[in-house]
Chains A and B, each alone.
Chain A
Amino acid sequence: MNKNLKKILLGLSLIFISSIIIYPIFLMFRISVSNPSDIFKPFTEKSLFFNSDGLTMEHWKNVYNSGLLLPALIKSLLVATFVTLIAVIVAAPAAYVIARIGNKKIKYLFIVSLFISRVFPEVAIALPISVRFLSWNLIDTNLGLILAHLIRVLPYVGWILVGTFEAIPKSLEEASFVDGAGRVKTLINIIFPLSLPGVSVAAMLVWLESWNEFTYALYLTVTENTLPLQTYYYINRGGIFNSAAYATIITVPVIIMTFVMQRYIKSGMLSGGVK
């Protein structure tokens, strides 16, 4: 009896937790395909799960036809892709060097400085950056946003990659030296291929960071919105269906990528701690 009761309690708590976690995502999809008559009902008649008036693709068509989606989508894609490329090119070599520093204290100092530069509050950095970018004519440009996203992303990717390079045994390099390969050649032929899996996971995480980024985009944009800003724009205007559609569009690549990466992600990577 007692055991059965325990089982039922366990089952109930599992269902309770799962539904709180899943319901918001379901609601987003649902609103983006609902008829206004279902959503704007007086709240005493609203249903939590079902639409009495059926589904519609109207809002998706509106979003597509508004002419605002494509520029925002292109800007978000371009910025995220370039941020990823530059971040990996700049941070990977540095991470490799940090990973190979023999002196433990110096190495720790480097890693800690990466960690600290990641946790500075964005609102404090974005203000001087936006004033500076205004005088450099970088407001509302892709280049400006790329430079700003790099602020956030570089220490992060550097920090992840230090772990990746540490996992590559030093003896491989030494063997390559013995064979007579130079340092640059060793880097390109031995280290680069071995680090590729780790680098690609880091690249995906960076791409997502830039794709989702909101604060710098808010500070550095007047008219040329990214997808998150466009969503914010509709929330401010009470455009519930548009914001739901945009939020869904932002989420799709995220879900695909997290699904791909699930096996490789470790908790430490996301929390950004020093250990």
Chain B
Amino acid sequence: MKYLKQYWLEILMITPLFVYILGFTVMPVFTNLKNSFIDQRYGRRYDILTSKISDIKYDIKNSQNQEEITEYEKELAIAQNELDNLKKSDYSGFTFENYKKLFQTRDFRKGVFNTIAITLTGLLIQFIIAMSIALLLTNEFKGKGFFRTIVLTPLGIPTIVSATIMTYIFDISGYLNVLFYKLGLISEITPNWGQGGWLSIFMVVFADTWKVLPLMVLLFIAGLESIPKSVHEACSIDGSKSWYKFFTIILPLMKPHITIALILRAIDAFRIFELPLILAGTATTPVISTFTYMEYDRQNYNLSAASGTILTIIILIFVFSYLYVVEREKGEEKA
């Protein structure tokens, strides 16, 4: 009580935010978990019947005609009976059926593969390019500020917009194929980037890279700037070659920055949704999140919940490994 009296203002200020997070983020995640253990056949039938019952009840409440009401009550009894039967059926209760079914579904397995492929190739490509640009930007040259501004441009471009533009570029007669044709790399027969497989994975990775590169560059520049000047000077006195210097000195010193940037990127890459949905479509190139959405769209809520839960678990593993890395770095700094 004393505690409440002393901190009433703080408690009042902090409560709304966390109540909202609890109600609209944590609760849904657990609802999802719960729904993922309910059989799809039971779940859908249950939804239909309960909404039917509430509809009939609403009708009864608003009906004046006595005959109509008896009619409605008959319907209500039938629906109620069906619901009771459903509850006693074999489908009801806790089941792993959805998860079993997921791993038997070809699209889901493909989705898992695509998600991992997009994450790994994306991370590798983005790391190499962003690191090169960051290193380029540590040099002094004319027009450096201008170049920096250009590199940072896609930072603000909404994902939906970058996805839209990439459809023009990766269309079968799109501008990437035009470029390849002009360079003489392809003839009249054009690669179809949306056909699935590695071509589509490359397409999504390219679109994603275009969008997230500025952020990676910023993070790496921050990392490079954190290396003390004396280290660079010592290297140049030793006369070591620049690539040698990079691999033996700069890279190890930047390891904490790189790990953090890569884990954060991996979290985002696993959640990737708009780009594969819009660019590749779910028919040829599903990823876990678009598969989850498609099952929702087909009203297979329980299957969608199972797939969403798997994605959540993967993300949480990444998050905790991230926190572990950050904590360890802090510990090292102190020591």
Q: Are A212 and B159 in contact (CB under 8 A)?
A: yes
Partner of A121, one of B147, B163, B305, B312: B312
Q: Are A184 and B210 in contact (CB under 8 A)?
A: no
Q: Does B150 contact A (CB under 8 A)?
A: yes
A45 to B164, CA, bound (A): 23
Please choose the segment from B89-97, B166-174, B230-238 that sits at the chain A interface, where 4 or more of its residues have CB less than 8 A away. Answer: B166-174
Beyond A28-B165, A48-B182, A97-B10, whether A212 also contacts B222 by CB under 8 A is no
Chain B contacts of A57 at CB under 8 A?
Answer: none
Chain B contacts of A66 at CB under 8 A?
Answer: none
Q: Does B284 contact A (CB under 8 A)?
A: no
User: Interface size (B, Cβ < 8 Å)?
Assistant: 90
Beyond A21-B210, A94-B16, A127-B301, whether A214 also contacts B181 by CB under 8 A is no
Q: Does A62 contact B (CB under 8 A)?
A: no
A63 to B260, CA, bound (A): 44
Nearest chain B CB to A49 CB, angstrom units: 10
Q: Are B165 and A24 in contact (CB under 8 A)?
A: yes
Q: Are B312 and A212 in contact (CB under 8 A)?
A: no
Beyond A27-B175, A271-B219, whether A212 also contacts B158 by CB under 8 A is yes
Q: Does A54 contact B (CB under 8 A)?
A: no
Q: Does A61 contact B (CB under 8 A)?
A: no
Nearest chain A CB to B15 CB, angstrom units: 8
Nearest chain A CB to B245 CB, angstrom units: 16
Beyond A27-B168, A150-B20, whether A117 also contacts B26 by CB under 8 A is yes
Chain A contacts of B49 at CB under 8 A?
Answer: none
Q: Are B20 and A123 in contact (CB under 8 A)?
A: no
Chain B contacts of A100 at CB under 8 A?
Answer: 10
Partner of A151, one of B13, B25, B167, B190: B25
Q: Does B139 contact A (CB under 8 A)?
A: yes
Interface residues on A, range: 35 or more
Q: Which of B51, B166, B221, B319 has the most CB of A within 10 A?
A: B319
Task: Specify the chain A residue showing the minimal Cβ separation from B221.
Answer: A267
Q: Are A123 and B293 in contact (CB under 8 A)?
A: yes
Please choose the segment from A67-75, A166-174, A193-201, A244-252 that sits at the chain B interface, where 4 or more of its residues have CB less than 8 A away. Answer: A244-252
Q: Does A113 contact B (CB under 8 A)?
A: yes
Beyond A10-B139, A46-B175, A154-B17, whether A125 also contacts B25 by CB under 8 A is yes
Q: Are B157 and A124 in contact (CB under 8 A)?
A: no
Partner of B24, one of A121, A130, A151, A235: A151
Q: Does B162 contact A (CB under 8 A)?
A: yes
Q: Does A258 contact B (CB under 8 A)?
A: yes
Q: Does B9 contact A (CB under 8 A)?
A: yes
A140 to B289, CA, bound (A): 22
Partner of B35, one of A90, A120, A128, A211: A128
Q: Does A163 contact B (CB under 8 A)?
A: no
Q: Are A18 and B166 in contact (CB under 8 A)?
A: no
Nearest chain B CB to A126 CB, angstrom units: 8
Q: Are A240 and B168 in contact (CB under 8 A)?
A: yes
Within 8 A of B (CB), among A101-137: 112-117, 119-132, 135
Q: Does B60 contact A (CB under 8 A)?
A: no
Chain B residues packing against A (C-beta within 8 Å): 9-10, 12-18, 20-21, 24-29, 31-32, 35, 51, 133, 136, 139, 141, 143, 147, 150-169, 173-175, 177-179, 181-182, 188, 190, 210, 213, 215, 218-219, 221-222, 260-261, 264, 267, 270-271, 273-274, 278, 289, 292-293, 296, 301, 304-305, 308-309, 311-312, 315-316, 319, 322-323, 326
6 tightest A-B CB contacts, nearest first:
A124-B308, A93-B13, A258-B156, A212-B158, A43-B173, A267-B218
The 28 sampled A-B contact pairs (Cβ below 8 Å) are A10-B136, A14-B143, A18-B151, A24-B210, A43-B178, A46-B173, A46-B178, A93-B16, A94-B16, A94-B18, A97-B14, A112-B323, A113-B18, A117-B26, A120-B312, A121-B308, A124-B28, A124-B309, A127-B35, A127-B296, A135-B51, A184-B9, A212-B160, A212-B161, A214-B273, A270-B215, A274-B323, A275-B260
Given contacts A27-B169, A124-B292, A267-B218, could you give 14 more A-B pairs where the C-beta distance is less than 8 Å?
A14-B147, A21-B154, A24-B162, A24-B165, A43-B174, A91-B17, A93-B16, A119-B267, A123-B273, A218-B293, A228-B160, A250-B161, A255-B156, A274-B323
